[in-house]
Amino acid sequence: MRLLFSIGAVLVAGMLAGADVAGLAAPGPRHQPQRQAADGDAQSVDVELILAVDVSYSMDMDELAIQREGYAQAIQSKEFLQALKAGPNGRIAVTYFEWAASTDQKIIIPWRLIEGPESADAVAGEIMKTPIRRASRTSISGAIGFAMPLFDEDPYHGLRRVIDISGDGPNNNGGPVTLARDAALEKGIVINGLPIMVKEPSYSTMDIDNLDYYYEDCVVGGPGSFVIAIKDREKFKEAIRTKLLMEVAGRTPEHPVVRIADKEPRVNCMIGEKIWSDRWGR
């Protein structure tokens, strides 16, 4: 089941206002761990989390800066650390990379263990000290394809494996996004999405209407997968924090808008490629 909700409809009151985050953290019966780590394994973590962050030219410098700050501040937040400690192992493994074209991915944070304030501060500091960059094209499929083998390189063993994709446009480069998504799902990987919709769609940046629908129908998947759509620039950091809290806790909102599983996609999953072809003739 895939879940879609706007940041305004999330459990912000409980999750971000310092409510019972610990109570939120224990996965319910619908969201059992995908992988079972050995009892007492020193390398066991609650989740192996890949943060895949869009740096294509359609993202303006202000958005890129807010995005960076949002991830750094979320990882250091009291709510995040509370959710972290409420997990079975009380720690997660995370890696953070930026992506644009199908051959353009750059790891900013290699696999790191976060198990408390000190390690969280170290990861946040690494995120913030890296110079911001931009690059051409948008290949969500390339980002997913790059992310999958990173799990094999992770020295830690998670109960769940999650790829978190953020971006402000559809796939327009590389292979079809649905093929990449399905390949990840076959490996038991969950994909969550953070579509960024703070600007009016523009021909010059090849944005589309209803990017949240595109992400839900074409990008995310796996047990408990979800989409948080950012439609207000002021809610950018709040959305990132909410998303990370739910991924650490292995939970989804209690009252999401749920798409009927067998319904036809509401958008063309090749719309980005079509826009690029119509514009450039290739």
Which pLDDT value is given to residue 20?
Answer: 43
What are the C-alpha distances in Å from 18 to residues 77, 120, 260?
A: 10, 18, 33
Which pLDDT value is given to residue 202?
Answer: 61
DSSP symbol at 269? T
| Chain centroid offset of residue 75 CA | 14
The model's pTM is 0.84
DSSP symbol at 14? H
Which pLDDT value is given to residue 279?
Answer: 75
Q: Which parts of the chain register pLDDT below 50?
A: 1-2, 5-40, 255, 257-260
- Between CA 133 and CA 194 the distance in angstroms is 19
Which pLDDT value is given to residue 7?
Answer: 43
Convert the pLDDT of each residue in 73-121 to its tens digit: 999 999 999 999 999 999 999 999 999 999 999 999 999 999 999 999 9
Q: Looking up tokens 């600007």, which residue turns up? A: 199
- Between CA 217 and CA 153 the distance in angstroms is 29
- Between CA 103 and CA 86 the distance in angstroms is 38
**CA torsion, points 136, 193, 33, 223, in degrees to nearest 10?**
-120
Which pLDDT value is given to residue 233?
Answer: 86
Q: How many CA atoms lie within 13 A of 195 on its CB side?
A: 27
Contact 96, 109 (CB under 8 A): yes
Convert the pLDDT of each residue in 213-231 to its tens digit: 999 999 999 988 999 999 8
Which pLDDT value is given to residue 63?
Answer: 87
- Between CA 215 and CA 201 the distance in angstroms is 15
The set of residues, in sequence order, having a beta carbon less than 8 Å from that of 193 and lying 6+ positions away, is 164, 165, 166, 215, 216, 219, 220, 225, 226, 227, 228
Contact 43, 118 (CB under 8 A): no
φ and ψ at residue 200, rounded to 5 degrees: -65, 135
The set of residues, in sequence order, having a beta carbon less than 8 Å from that of 216 and lying 6+ positions away, is 2, 4, 193, 227, 259
CB neighbours of residue 57 within 10 Å: 15
Which pLDDT value is given to residue 250?
Answer: 85
Strands 257-258 and 226-229: unpaired
CB neighbours of residue 272 within 10 Å: 24
